[in-house]
């Protein structure tokens, strides 16, 4: 059913506009596509009509359906946001006369802080890869660079040789919305990246590919592939928290703030377009300070 819906002309036109006109990444466009296909599949199953003919009260029924399926409010909000963008597109094109999602408020979202880990935990994770193999050298370099820069995992796996300057220890990152930013990194990340690149060169693994981090088969390592490597190292160090590539991005931001970095600088390094997105990390930093005060101060 969904394969058939993927050919829906309105959906194809909308996704093309996101990618071509708005310059959104393939991953972001894919998220929009998944959300709208879910709604379209539900609409065709329940009402036998396309989303173009759906009404306001039917959208409310769909939202209830999502909550009945035990989706988190953050997921429901994302799906509503995707539908709002889709219907706004149809409205501007004149394909519909009114937006069925326009007056629907987003469900109240529980405020959840991102998972962050201590500097000691990060140190254990960074030291987990055994560097007597190509994979170990690669993973060590990737972990070091991820923590040193706060990059998203997709930004890390998409790095090319033309994006990194090891002489000046600067990396050029292509972020969301095709926005570029330059991020400096420290000696440790520089050193282990050089060790990995030398190892890669000596082994002659697909010298033609321009992506820096590759698999043993010579293709670009995937986000999923690296995620599984981190899961392996997390088990090896008996991590008590659920560590993912994004955890290191959170740790990067939190540890910078804990050590006195200003919020605006962290925002630029993370590539956040809105400062409010970065401000969530101040809550984590304050919590760490509060915990330290309670633990060590005589009147804590």
Catalytic residues: 152, 176, 246, 249, 272, 281
Cα–Cα distance measured from residue 34 to residue 192, given in angstroms and rounded to the nearest whole number: 38
Q: CA distances (Å), 124 to each of 84, 128, 133, 233, 242, in order?
A: 44, 6, 19, 9, 14
Adjacent-strand bridge partners of 174? 180
Cα–Cα distance measured from residue 89 to residue 20, given in angstroms and rounded to the nearest whole number: 14
């Amino acid at each position: 059913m969904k394969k058939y819906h993927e050919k829906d002309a309105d959906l194809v036109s909308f996704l093309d506009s996101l990618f071509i006109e708005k310059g959104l990444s393939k991953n972001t466009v894919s998220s929009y596509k998944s959300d709208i296909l879910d709604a379209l599949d539900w609409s065709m199953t329940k009402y036998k009509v396309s989303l173009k003919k759906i009404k306001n009260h039917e959208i409310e029924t769909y939202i209830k359906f999502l909550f009945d399926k035990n989706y988190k409010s953050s997921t429901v909000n994302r799906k509503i946001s995707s539908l709002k963008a889709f219907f706004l597109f149809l409205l501007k094109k004149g394909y519909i006369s009114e937006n069925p999602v326009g007056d629907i408020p987003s469900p109240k979202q529980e405020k959840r802080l991102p998972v962050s880990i201590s500097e000691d935990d990060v140190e254990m994770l960074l030291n987990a890869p055994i560097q007597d193999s190509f994979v170990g050298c690669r993973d060590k370099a990737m972990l070091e660079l991820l923590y040193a820069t706060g990059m998203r995992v997709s930004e890390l796996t998409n790095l090319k040789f033309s994006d990194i300057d090891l002489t000046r220890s600067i990396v050029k990152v292509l972020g969301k919305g095709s926005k570029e930013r330059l991020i400096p990194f420290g000696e440790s990340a520089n050193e282990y990246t050089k060790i990995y690149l030398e190892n890669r060169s000596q082994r002659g693994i697909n010298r033609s590919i321009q992506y820096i981090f590759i698999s043993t088969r010579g293709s670009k390592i995937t986000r999923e592939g690296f995620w599984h490597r981190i899961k392996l190292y997390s088990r090896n160090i008996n991590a008590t928290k659920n560590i993912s590539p994004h955890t290191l991005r959170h740790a990067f931001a939190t540890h910078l703030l804990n050590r006195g970095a200003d919020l605006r600088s962290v925002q630029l390094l993370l590539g956040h377009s809105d400062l409010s997105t970065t401000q969530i990390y101040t809550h984590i930093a304050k919590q760490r300070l509060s915990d330290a005060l309670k633990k060590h101060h005589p009147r804590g």
